[in-house]
Structure 1
C-alpha cells in the first residue's frame, strides 16, 4: 500500500488547485484559500528501555504527531508524521518539509487574486488554529475580546473552513481505529508507515466517493484530553494579509445584500 498508493497523496497541480480554491471561496468566502491544517497525537505504549521525555507529551502520554493539510473534501493534500508528541504544534510545523517549501516559495506560491474591496492582492494561503503562527501563507483567527464586526466575520468563516481538517482527523481515527487506541509497543520506525497507509486509505475512500457509516465516526474530538496552546508568533505580512481578508469579507457581505 505504501509503495503502490502514493499517487493518492500528492500536492495538487495547478488545475486541481484552482478547483480547490474555487470551492473554498464559494463555500467560505475565502479567496485563494488552498486548504486547512491541523495535527493530532497517535498515542502509544513504549517499552521501558525506549521510554524517554522526547516522546512524552504535555498530557504525559507517549505519542507521535501527525500533521495534515486537507482540501474542501477533507482529502489529505500533505501529511507529516514521525515526530515526537512532546513538540508543540508550531514547532512541528516548522520542522516539516511543508513549512520549508512554503517559506522557500515552492508551495502556496500560485498567482495572487486582487480583492475588489480595496485592490490589494491576496496570495495563496491555508487556514489553521491559534496553535499556529500567523504567517503570510497561514491565517489564524483573531484572539481576544472586543473584536470588531469584520474580525468576528473573519473568525466565523475561518472556523468553518478550519474545521475541515479537524473533521478529517476525526474521520481518519474513527475509521482506522488502530490510530485511535493506545498502540502496544509499536516499532517507532514502522509506525509512520502505518499512519501513512491509513491516510492513503482515507484518500482512496474520498476519491471513490464512498460514504462513511455514521457509527464509524468519532463522537468527540480526535485529540480528546489535549489542550490547545496558543502560538504568539505574529508576522507583520501575515497581519496585513489577514486584514485584507477581513475587508474583503465585509465587502462581499455588503455586495450580497
Structure 2
C-alpha cells in the first residue's frame, strides 16, 4: 500500500482506533495490523508487544468493517456495475457470483474441512457482497438460499427489481447476475449450459453464452486471487486453527473491504503478489444436479442468442 493510500485509510479509521489505544499512535496500530494481514506474521518493528499487536489487529478489522462497509456497492453503485458489464455485451448484468474455500483445522469438518465464502464481484474485480463462514459440509445451493442476497431478491424484492433490458429482437432481459454451475438456474441467476460434450451438443448461441459466462467468472477467481495474494493471512495454503476459526469470517470481510479500498485507490499489485495469486487456483465445485427454472431457461436462451449475434458481427 502506498503512503498516500495508507494516510487516507489512517484518516478514515483513526476516530475508531484512538480511544482503544490511548498510549499507541494510530499509525503504528494500523501499520502493525496491515503487516499481519499482508505477511501472516506479527512484526516487532512497530514497537507493539505481541499481545497488543493481536488486539490491534482485531481492532483494525472491526474499524474497517464499521467504517468501510460502503465499499460494498451492490446497492449504491448499480449504475456503474451495469455499465461495466454492458461493455462486455452483458446487458443488465449486476455482477458475478462465486465461492471460495478457506482451510481450517477442524476434525468435525474432515481432513479437508474449510469455511466457504460466497461473493458477488463487479467487472472491475471489486467485491459487491460477501457472505462468509459457511461450513464445507453445506452444498452451494443451500449456502445461496441461506444468504442475505438470496432473501433480498426472492423474499424482500429489494434487489434486481429494476426495469428489463429490451433486446433488438424484442426479448426482455430482467436484471440478473451470473453464477457458477454449482448454483441452481434462476431467473435472476444465470448459470452456464451443462453438457458432457459441449462441442457436439451445443449450437452457436449456447457456445457464445458459455464463453461470455466463463470470461465473467474469471472475475471472481481473480478477485479472490488478488485478495489472497495481497493479504497472505488469507492465502489458500494457510490453515486456520480451531481457536481462531470464529474470527475467520470477520477477517475475510475486512480483507475484502480493504481489497476494494486499494482497488479504488488504483493501487497496483506487485509482480511478486501477482505471481502468488496466479499460483493459488481455486478448486472447482460440482455442477448443480437439478432442474432449472423455466423462466430462467427462456431468459438465458434469449441472452445466448443476443451474445451469438454480437459475436458474429465482430
Instruction: State if a TM-score over 0.5 links the two structures.
Output: yes
Tell me the CA shift for residue 184 of structure 1: 2.6
Is 1:235 matched up with 2:272? Answer: no
Q: Distance in 2 between matches of 1:221 and 1:124?
A: 32
Is 1:6 matched up with 2:107? Answer: no
Between Structure 1 and Structure 2, the one with more strand by share is 1
Question: Aligned residue for 1:137?
Answer: 188
Q: Relative contact order: is structure 1 or structure 2 higher (C-alpha 8 Å, sep ≥ 6)?
A: 1
After superposition, residues 10-25 of structure 1 pair within 5 angstroms as 10-13=73-76, 16-25=77-86
- Alpha-carbon contact 2:104-2:245 (below 8 Å) kept: no
Q: Which runs of 5+ in 1 are unaligned?
A: none
- Alpha-carbon contact 1:173-1:222 (below 8 Å) kept: no
Question: Aligned residue for 2:162?
Answer: 110
Taking structure 1 as reference, are residues 22 and 10 closer, same or farther at Cα in structure 2, changes over 3 Å only? Answer: closer
- Alpha-carbon contact 1:44-1:186 (below 8 Å) kept: no
Q: Distance in 1 between matches of 2:284 and 2:180?
A: 12
Is 1:163 matched up with 2:221? Answer: no
Tell me the CA shift for residue 221 of structure 1: 4.2
Tell me the CA shift for residue 133 of structure 1: 0.8
Tell which structure's C-alpha radius of gyration is larger. Answer: 2
Q: Distance in 1 between matches of 2:141 and 2:243?
A: 26
Q: Distance in 2 between matches of 1:248 and 1:8?
A: 32
SS in 2 for 1:7: helix
Q: Distance in 2 between matches of 1:40 and 1:235?
A: 25
Taking structure 1 as reference, are residues 201 and 35 closer, same or farther at Cα in structure 2, changes over 3 Å only? Answer: same
Task: State the number of aligned residues.
Answer: 241
Is 1:244 matched up with 2:302? Answer: yes
Is 1:63 matched up with 2:114? Answer: yes
Is 1:123 matched up with 2:184? Answer: no
Question: Aligned residue for 1:73?
Answer: 124
Question: Aligned residue for 1:38?
Answer: 98
Tell me the CA shift for residue 227 of structure 1: 4.3
Between Structure 1 and Structure 2, the one with more helix by share is 2
Question: Aligned residue for 1:100?
Answer: 151
Q: Distance in 1 between matches of 2:91 and 2:287?
A: 25
Q: Which runs of 5+ in 2 are unaligned?
A: 1-63
SS in 1 for 2:134: strand
- Alpha-carbon contact 1:21-1:33 (below 8 Å) kept: yes
The 4+ residue runs of structure 1 with deviation greater than 4 A are: none
Q: Distance in 2 between matches of 1:253 and 1:61?
A: 42
Taking structure 1 as reference, are residues 12 and 207 closer, same or farther at Cα in structure 2, changes over 3 Å only? Answer: farther
Q: Distance in 1 between matches of 2:118 and 2:252?
A: 11
